[in-house]
Amino acid sequence: MSRSSPDVGEALDAAVRLPDQFDSLKSRLGKDLLMRWDDYPDVTLHKLEILARSAYLAGVYLIHNSHTAYRAEDLVRAVLECLAHSTYIASLPPLSYRRTPADRALCVELGMVKGLNDLLKKLPNDALMQDPAVRTVVAADEQAIKTLHNATGCKCTGRDDGNVAPTLKDAATAIGPPWRTLVGVYASSSTFIRLC
């Protein structure tokens, strides 16, 4: 056991509590905990938060064990993808994107439902873990989101992981050093996943 172990342990314990501290700040926003399914961008940001939170906490728990610690690298990528999509929606200053946050959230929603529908199209019925009727439901969801998205005037086909690195680079240019590090972390994590 190295001399630094107690400090690392304390840091990991603090890292586990971080989402709770974030929750305590949420009440200041004065937002209702219940939201409509089409309450964009809040509902999209909430989905991204759930995805990011689970990946973040899973990564912290993996670091606790020396046998699993390296696999935390995989989850960094998932957290940064959620961060990039949230940054795109929020259009953090001085980044400037035309259209409203609600409009931009629909680009993310379209990418998410399109990714799921594309996956279902590829899988044969005996590889599905759900009732095959799920195909009809998800296809209808994609069409509904596509209609809402196209009504915003955007011509994109939905945001996916191909948009993540450019968004992180935009933020790094606009905001500075901490984001420049994230560009490198995302590239490293992406490569690591492909190699292992």
Measured from the CB atom, the residue of 44 and 189 that comes closer to Zn ion is 44
Q: How far is the CB of 59 from Zn ion (least distance, A)?
A: 30
What the block records as the tokens of 132 is 């095959």
Measured from the CB atom, the residue of 76 and 105 that comes closer to Zn ion is 105
Residues at the contact surface with Zn ion, assessed by CB under 5 A: 107, 154, 156
Length of the chain: 196
Q: What is the DSSP letter of 159?
A: -
d(CA 176, CA 80): 16
Contact 120, 128 (CB under 8 A): yes
Q: How far is the CB of 187 from Zn ion (least distance, A)?
A: 25
What the block records as the tokens of 86 is 């949230």
Q: How far is the CB of 114 from Zn ion (least distance, A)?
A: 11
Q: How far is the CB of 35 from Zn ion (least distance, A)?
A: 21
Measured from the CB atom, the residue of 53 and 146 that comes closer to Zn ion is 146
Sign of CA dihedral 87, 93, 97, 101: positive
Measured from the CB atom, the residue of 156 and 193 that comes closer to Zn ion is 156
